[in-house]
């Protein structure tokens, strides 16, 4: 249905995330993937949703001059925000275990920003989901990190994996946002762009 509305537009997903690719496929979108590497560095003054907003727009800037009429470039970034700081992707087993130990028995926020860029405009939206873990035991944390190696995931975990199934007590907001893309917000924004 919505592909009829999007006829004539070329949807470009600029992400190497298999989860975002799967969401686009599950949503029935016709799209292509184009990836350009950027150094994901942001000013230290940024807080909360300002960080993924900035990074989503930074990823889009790598395509400056390469978009053509009717291209809609979609870039995205997710951060885990906990006690006033961003928990990025862990670099190793120790850092992933430290992050999950911090998040144990507490609430944190998962913030995903999505930027929609054309040759004439850019719109960036974001969604925040609150997530609470149960008390995670050292055994559970080590088992998960060693088996699932969540080094490509903000906060060191994937909600759709074992740790999410056994460890998450409560969620307030979009589940797909925590996986990596607020799909309802993507749908709504695209529909508004082509209406």
Active site residues: 77
* 8 A C-beta contact, residue 183 and residue 25: no
Q: Which residues contact 177 (CB under 8 A, 6 or more apart)?
A: 78, 110, 112, 127, 128, 129, 185
CA–centroid distance for 131 within its chain: 15
Strands of the chain, DSSP E: 10-13, 32-33, 71-82, 85-87, 107-117, 122-133, 168-172
DSSP 14: -
- Residue 39's nearest CA partner among 61, 21, 19, 20 is 61
């Amino acid at each position: 249905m919505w592909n009829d509305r999007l006829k004539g537009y070329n949807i470009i997903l600029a992400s190497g995330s298999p989860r975002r690719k799967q969401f686009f496929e599950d949503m029935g979108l016709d799209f292509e993937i184009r990836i350009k590497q950027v150094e994901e560095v942001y000013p230290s003054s940024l807080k909360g949703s300002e960080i993924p907003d900035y990074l989503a727009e930074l990823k889009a800037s790598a395509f400056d001059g390469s978009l053509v009429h009717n291209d809609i470039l979609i870039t995205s970034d997710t951060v885990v925000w906990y006690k006033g700081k961003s928990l990025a992707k862990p670099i190793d087993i120790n850092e992933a275990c430290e992050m999950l130990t911090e998040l144990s028995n507490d609430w944190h926020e998962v913030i995903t920003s999505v930027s929609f860029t054309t040759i004439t405009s850019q719109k960036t939206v974001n969604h925040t989901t609150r997530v609470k873990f149960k008390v995670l035991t050292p055994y559970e944390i080590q088992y998960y990190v060693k088996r699932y190696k969540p080094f490509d995931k903000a906060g060191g975990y994937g909600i759709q994996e074992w740790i999410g199934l056994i460890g998450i007590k409560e969620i307030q907001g979009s589940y797909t946002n925590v996986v990596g893309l607020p799909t309802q917000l993507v749908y709504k924004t695209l529909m508004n762009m082509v209406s």
